[in-house]
Amino acid sequence: MTSQASCTSGNRHTSRILHRQWLTKDTFTLTLERPPDFHFQAGQRIHLLTGGKTRDYSLIPGDRQDQLTLLIRSVADGVVSPHLSRCPLGTALDFTGPSGHFIYRPSSRSAIWIATGAGIAPFVAMCRTGIQGFVLLHGVRHDDELYFRDNMAPAALRYVPCLTGVSSSLSPYAFPGRVTDYLRHHFPEGAYDFYAAGRREMIAEVMDIVDHRFPSSRIYSEIFF
Amino acid sequence: MKIYTGGGDRGRTSLFSGERLFKDDARVEAYGDVDELNSLLGAVLAVLPDDCRDKIGELHQIQSDLFRVGACLATSGEDPSFKTTRDLPLENARFLEQAIDRMDEQLPRLSQFILPGGHPAACWSHVARCVCRRAERHTVRTIRQASDDGKMYSGTLTYLNRLSDYLFVLARYCNQATRTPDTPWESA
């Protein structure tokens, strides 16, 4: 809505890294202690402060109540994500938050969740709160990047992996192309609640498609690097 | 998270409640006016004379209120998220009324129209007053176009109406504090 929509709020917390799990060669989950006074809504994020740098990460409730999970793609020439990928377990991290308005809003319209890459994180958080019956389009290059597929697919009314990698086009259950291609050419017209999380270019394209193919719909978005 | 999406590059924007609207929609005009008004209060603050420093806290409170007004206007009433972007309570308008009364007690009674002008803080306050009136008009238009009975924005409408009065009195207050005479309107 405004240029200040991404502002951070909330108290400052300190947490320790409990666990790291690599999902692919460049993407991992980081499990943190959950401070006892820290509460958030599924889809919100924290503002992580480390080494003089700050980054926002969407929150996923941990398997246990006293844990938080972050889904992180390590950027080769980045600063924060490589540090988070290497620092020892037990490292203390400071963060503020939660912040953000990318939360699920129940309505009579069908919810269409669109994610690319690690943009799946806020949807995983929503799904873990018990939301079901959504349509999920998850765009990645190869099917090993379909993070949390085993959690998401059973809860979804329809789960559509959209694979852009050349070799992935052979996967029989997946759409061979981008999420926006699927939305533009294969999704039935109607009025929906679209939720889009991922790269800026994808979100801008989804908004353009919604404007023209789904004019009575609503759209909520969250940009990921 | 980056703050720009590019989703508005073709003339539309998204409301807080998810709808896509053209940027010349009355609702977008209304919260755009509120944004402009808030920025103008920043200009008032930047040139506020030393003798009016007691107004800093009030103006910051008003700027904060206007953020809430903007969020309220950027949310359609039927959306459940409206619960978290509620209309301003009437207490906020009462705050303005009390501030107006405190300033007014120190000002000479006005017996004729005055020309907008004087000290820079007064000038910016008058400009802000005009933008406040425009914000009010666009808010009314939004309500009428949405076939809303106005209850959803009753606090906002009261607040904007009272805020333009506050800004008029603030302009006079700044002029008096700096011994800048108001210029009466001379009818032809």
The contacts of residue B91 (CB under 8 Å, 6+ apart) are none
Largest CA distance in chain A: 50
Query: What is the share, in percent, of chain A residues with pLDDT greater than 90?
Result: 77
Mean pLDDT, range A200-220, rounded to an integer? 94
- Which candidate in A112, A218, A224 is best for mutational testing of the B interface (most B CBs within 10 A)? A218
Superfamily of domain B21-75+82-106+118-179: Cobalamin adenosyltransferase-like (1.20.1200.10)
- Are B44 and B38 in contact by the 8 Å Cβ rule? The answer is no
Please give the backbone phi and psi of residue B7, each rounded to the nearest 5 degrees, phi first: -70, -10
- Are B105 and B176 in contact by the 8 Å Cβ rule? The answer is no
Which pLDDT score is estimated for B182?
92
- Are A124 and A77 in contact by the 8 Å Cβ rule? The answer is no
Which pLDDT score is estimated for A187?
95
Which pLDDT score is estimated for B80?
59
- A93 and A130 fall within a common domain: no
CA distance A208 to chain B (A): 7
- Could you say which DSSP state residue A217 is in? -
Question: Structural domain of residue A128, as residue ranges?
Answer: 110-223
How far is the CA of B85 from the CAs of B27, B70, B81, B93, in angstroms? 15, 9, 7, 17
CA distance B89 to chain A (A): 22
- CATH code at position A139: 3.40.50.80
**Cα A138 vs. chain centroid, distance in angstroms?**
10
Q: Is B188 on the interface with A (CB under 8 A)?
A: no
- Are B153 and B139 in contact by the 8 Å Cβ rule? The answer is yes
Domain final residue, candidates A66, A99, A132:
A99
Which pLDDT score is estimated for A168?
54
Amino acid at residue number B72: C
Which pLDDT score is estimated for A78?
87
Q: How confident is the model at residue A3 (pLDDT cuts 50, 70, 90)?
A: very low
Please give the backbone phi and psi of residue B113, each rounded to the nearest 5 degrees, phi first: -65, 150
Q: What is the number of structural domains in chain A? A: 2
Q: Tens digit of pLDDT for each residue in A69-91?
A: 999 999 888 889 999 999 999 99
Which pLDDT score is estimated for B1?
54
- CATH code at position A13: 2.40.30.10
- As a whole number of Å, the CA-based R_g of chain A is 17
* Inter-helix orientation angle B154-177/B120-145, to 10°: 170
Please indicate whether, in this complex, the C-beta atoms of B18 and A1 are within 8 angstroms of each other. Answer: no
A13-27, A88-102, A206-220, B142-156: which range is least confident on average?
B142-156
**Cα B55 vs. chain centroid, distance in angstroms?**
16
CA dihedral B156, B159, B164, B166 (to 10 degrees): -160
Among B17, B49, B37, residue whose Cα is nearest residue B132: B37
- A213 and A144 fall within a common domain: yes
Q: Which residue, chain included where needed, has tokens 């490292």?
A: A91
| DSSP assignment of chain B | --S--STTTTSEEE-TTSBEEETTSHHHHHHHHHHHHHHHHHHHHHT--GGGGGGHHHHHHHHHHHHHHHHHHTS-TTSGGGGGSPPPPHHHHHHHHHHHHHHHTTSPPP-S-EES-SSHHHHHHHHHHHHHHHHHHHHHHHHHHTT--SGGGHHHHHHHHHHHHHHHHHHHHHHHHTT---EE----
How many beta-carbon contacts under 8 Å exist across A and B?
Answer: 79
CA dihedral A51, A57, A60, A65 (to 10 degrees): 40
Which pLDDT score is estimated for B2?
59
- A72 and A125 fall within a common domain: no
B152/B148 Cα distance (integer angstroms): 8
Q: Which residues of A touch B81 (CB under 8 A)?
A: 101, 105
Whether the upstream peptide bond of residue A98 has omega within 30° of 0, thus cis, is yes
pLDDT < 50 positions in chain B: none
Q: Is B15 on the interface with A (CB under 8 A)?
A: yes
Domain final residue, candidates A51, A70, A99:
A99
Residue A208 has its nearest CB partner, among B10, B16, B31, at B10
Domain final residue, candidates A39, A70, A99:
A99
B49/B120 Cα distance (integer angstroms): 9
- A171 and A216 fall within a common domain: yes
Which pLDDT score is estimated for A2?
30
Q: Is B83 on the interface with A (CB under 8 A)?
A: no
- A42 and A95 fall within a common domain: yes
- A14 and A117 fall within a common domain: no
- Domain assignment present for A104: no
Tokens coding A130: 């018990």
Q: How many CB atoms lie within 10 A of CB A193?
A: 20
